[in-house]
Structure 1
Amino acid sequence: MIKLNLANKLTLARILAVPVIVVLLYFPSKIACLSAMLVFIVASLTDLFDGLIARRMGMVTNFGKFLDPLADKILVGSVLIMLVEMGWVPAWVVIIIIARETTVTGLRAIAADMGMVLAADKYGKLKTVIQILALCPLLLHFEWFGFDPVGIGTFFLYIALVLTVFSGGNYLYKFYKNWLYEENREG
């Protein structure tokens, strides 16, 4: 049985926030969208805190190493899919983002099987931050005090898309380079 420490509980809270956001978005109003964005922000912040707590308090676990990136993908992917469902974001953008996430997850699994580690790099972390910055105004959707947040959200979403493709290519390159190194070392 897995004993959950504080860091892992925060990670699970990020996953449990997803149904709340999804339900709020099924009834889009200014208040529902504001509430969905606030839940999304709190859930996103748990990603920062679970990692800090795990490292500083010696709570790093294999379960946490598995669950943390999964929770990120579930949170961001679910919000993106809901925004497509509502017609607020183009599907092709979300397909590219989710394809990259799936590819990187698969590469990490293959690398782990080969005894290699493909750790998150600065581009992947920046991609995540920009995705969060994009999704917050996109979740607000409605005009607020004469300000339409959709334009800024869309701007950041396309920056996130470029970073998504670039960081995905970077992971592919690192995997290929490490794989070649292992092949040459064994041969």
Structure 2
Amino acid sequence: MFNLANNLTLARIAAVPILVILLYFPGRITCLVALLFFIAASVTDIMDGMVARHRNLVTTFGKFLDPLADKLLVSSLLIMLTKLGWVEAWVAVIIIGREIAVTGLRAMAIDHGVVIAADRFGKLKTILQMLALCPLVLHYPWFGFDPVPLGNILLYLAVVLTLVSGGNYFYGFGKKVIWAKDASH
């Protein structure tokens, strides 16, 4: 259970309270340090999957923990950035609401013996959310560059992809569970 891949995922979860504390006291330096922690945590998302597949360390625990770590990382930052007034609340509600809805959908699918795996839209959504959060966490202008407009553009694109991805999961659920059941009757 505590193999290298899962430990990388646990490190991503351990970064969450550090990020929250850093953003609780926003300033140029704390935001820069938070950005560096966030980038390091985001890199573990890439590394844990590669390590698990390369070393044959794929576990049920890891399959559960990896998306949970992503949701905790992104959601906690969205909540903190909303608290600071740096992200609009409706954006956080859509992204976090989609995560909760898809998690519930996956639980319902399991009850029907169906596994709804992450698809390319879901993976791209996570990458885009993480890319958008980087300039938003940095927040303050550096060397004449204001990162906030870039972060907002990426975040709005992430919202669109979040909705498309969520719709795709619900469509897949309907196709595999609801409509398949109706067709068998």
In which range does the TM-score fall when normalised by the shorter chain? Answer: over 0.9
Task: After TM superposition, give the deviation of residue 185 of structure 1 in Å.
Answer: 6.0
Partner of 1:136: 134
Q: Distance in 2 between matches of 1:94 and 1:145?
A: 29
User: Could you give the per-residue CA deviations for residues 103-148 of structure 1, whole angstroms, max 9, x where no partner exists?
Assistant: 1111111111211111111111111111111000000000111110
Q: Distance in 2 between matches of 1:126 and 1:66?
A: 19
Task: After TM superposition, give the deviation of residue 182 of structure 1 in Å.
Answer: 3.7
Q: Distance in 1 between matches of 2:32 and 2:128?
A: 19
Task: After TM superposition, give the deviation of residue 180 of structure 1 in Å.
Answer: 3.1
Partner of 1:87: 85
Structure 1 unaligned blocks of 5 or more: none
Partner of 1:170: 168
Provide the TM-score with structure 2 as the length reference. 0.97
Partner of 2:38: 40
Partner of 1:30: 28
Aligned residue type for 1:10 = L
Q: Distance in 2 between matches of 1:182 and 1:64?
A: 30
Q: Distance in 1 between matches of 2:69 and 2:49?
A: 12
Partner of 1:13: 11
- Taking only aligned residues, the RMSD between alpha carbons, in angstroms, comes to 1.0
Q: Distance in 1 between matches of 2:184 and 2:54?
A: 37
Partner of 2:153: 155
Aligned residue type for 2:57 = M
Provide the TM-score with structure 1 as the length reference. 0.96
Q: Distance in 2 between matches of 1:146 and 1:171?
A: 41
Runs of 4 or more consecutive aligned structure 1 residues displaced over 6 Å after TM superposition: none
User: Could you give the per-residue CA deviations for residues 40-81 of structure 1, whole angstroms, max 9, x where no partner exists?
Assistant: 010011011111111111111111111110000000000000
SS of the residue 1:60 aligns to: coil
Q: Distance in 2 between matches of 1:87 and 1:98?
A: 17
Aligned residue type for 2:20 = V
Partner of 1:61: 59
Partner of 2:144: 146
Structure 2 unaligned blocks of 5 or more: none
Aligned residue type for 1:63 = F
Aligned residues: 185
